[in-house]
Amino acid sequence: MYVGDIPVQSPTISVEDETSKQILSYYQPSLLPQLSPRATNGDGNCCYRAVSLALYGVQEHHRHVRLLTAVEMLQHPDFYDVSRRSYSGQLEAIYAGPYDDMITAVTTLGGYAELMHLYGVSAAFRVAISSFMPPVGLTPSPYSRTIVGRSVRSAAAPVFTLMWTMLTWNKLEQFMPNHFVLLLPRSDTSPQTNSITDDENENAEVQVHTDVGVEHVDDYSAVAVEGDVNDAEDLVADVKVTSAPDSSGSDDAGSDSESVATVEYDVELTDVPAEGMQRLPDDTWLSTETVYHLLRSASSDMIHKAVPRGHKAFCYCVVDNQSNVDRRSRGQRRVFDDDCGAWNTDRGRMCVFPYIMSDDGAMRRVFLRDGKYCVERKCNGRRKYDPFDPQPDPSIVVRITRYYGICNADPAFKKRVTWFEDASGPSSVAVVEYHGAQPPAAVHGNAKKITTPYTRTPASTMDKVKQAAVHAPPKAVYNDCIMSMDIEDAPRNSQSVRSAKRYQQQKVRRENQTLHRLNFADEILQVMAMAQSDSFVRDVRISGDRVPCIVVYRDRQLRDIKSFCFDARRGSVLSFDKTFNLGSMYVTVSTYRNQALNRPTSGSSPNFFGPMFIHGQSDTDTYNYFFGRIASKLQDMDFQQLRLGLDDEFAMRKSLAFCFRGAALLACNQHLQRNTEHCARDSVGLSSTQRHHFVHAIFGDAGLTSCSDVASFDLAVDRFRSRVLADAPDQLREYFNNRYYIHSVQQI
Q: Tens of pLDDT along 562-601? A: 999 999 888 999 999 988 767 778 999 999 999 999 988 8
- In angstroms, how far is CA 286 from the centroid of its own chain? 41
Return mean pLDDT, the chain: 79
Mean pLDDT of 694-709: 76
682 phi, psi to nearest 5 deg: -90, -35
Q: Which of 122-126, 220-224, 281-285 has the lowest mean pLDDT?
A: 220-224
295 phi, psi to nearest 5 deg: -65, -35
Per-residue model confidence (pLDDT) at position 264: 38
Q: Which of 170-174, 392-396, 532-536, 549-553 has the lowest mean pLDDT?
A: 170-174
Mean pLDDT of 466-494: 81
Mean pLDDT of 607-629: 93
CA dist 287 and 188 (Å) reads: 32
Per-residue model confidence (pLDDT) at position 66: 95
Per-residue model confidence (pLDDT) at position 626: 95
* pLDDT above 80 for 233: no
| Higher pLDDT pick, 82 / 545 | 82
The residues with which 210 forms a beta bridge, in sequence order, are: none
Q: Tens of pLDDT along 303-352? A: 998 888 888 889 999 999 998 888 888 888 888 888 888 887 677 788 88
* pLDDT above 90 for 690: no
- Could you tell me the pLDDT band of residue 453, with boundaries at 50, 70 and 90? low
Per-residue burial over 534-548, b = 16 or more CB atoms within 10 Å of its CB, e = otherwise: eeebbebeeeeebbb
Fold type of domain 18-189: Cathepsin B; Chain A (3.90.70)
Tell me the C-alpha to C-alpha distance, in Å, between residue 147 and each of 56, 159, 397, 463.
19, 10, 46, 43
End-to-end CA distance of the chain: 73
| Higher pLDDT pick, 98 / 670 | 98
- Could you tell me the pLDDT band of residue 38, with boundaries at 50, 70 and 90? very high
Tell me the C-alpha to C-alpha distance, in Å, between residue 404 and each of 198, 224, 401, 407.
13, 9, 10, 10
CB 319 within 8 A of CB 429: yes
Task: Please give the model's pTM, rounded to 2 decimal places.
Answer: 0.39
Top mean pLDDT of 58-72, 87-101, 664-678 is at 58-72
Per-residue model confidence (pLDDT) at position 337: 83
CB 380 within 8 A of CB 494: no
CA dist 242 and 262 (Å) reads: 6
- Could you tell me the pLDDT band of residue 242, with boundaries at 50, 70 and 90? very low
- Could you tell me the pLDDT band of residue 693, with boundaries at 50, 70 and 90? confident
CB 282 within 8 A of CB 315: no
- Could you tell me the pLDDT band of residue 246, with boundaries at 50, 70 and 90? very low
- Could you tell me the pLDDT band of residue 12, with boundaries at 50, 70 and 90? low
- Could you tell me the pLDDT band of residue 661, with boundaries at 50, 70 and 90? very high
Listed by start position, the domains of the chain span 18-189, 194-243+250-446, 535-667, 671-747
CA dist 415 and 396 (Å) reads: 29
Per-residue model confidence (pLDDT) at position 189: 61
* pLDDT above 80 for 191: no
* pLDDT above 80 for 709: no
Per-residue model confidence (pLDDT) at position 347: 72
CA dist 370 and 398 (Å) reads: 18
130 phi, psi to nearest 5 deg: -95, 120
Per-residue model confidence (pLDDT) at position 451: 61
- Could you tell me the pLDDT band of residue 513, with boundaries at 50, 70 and 90? low
Q: Indicate the Cα dihedral angle 640, 642, 647, 651, nearest 10°.
A: -50
* pLDDT above 50 for 250: no
Per-residue model confidence (pLDDT) at position 221: 33
What percentage of the chain exceeds 90 in pLDDT?
A: 32
| Higher pLDDT pick, 596 / 716 | 596
Top mean pLDDT of 14-18, 119-123, 350-354, 470-474 is at 119-123
Per-residue model confidence (pLDDT) at position 746: 52
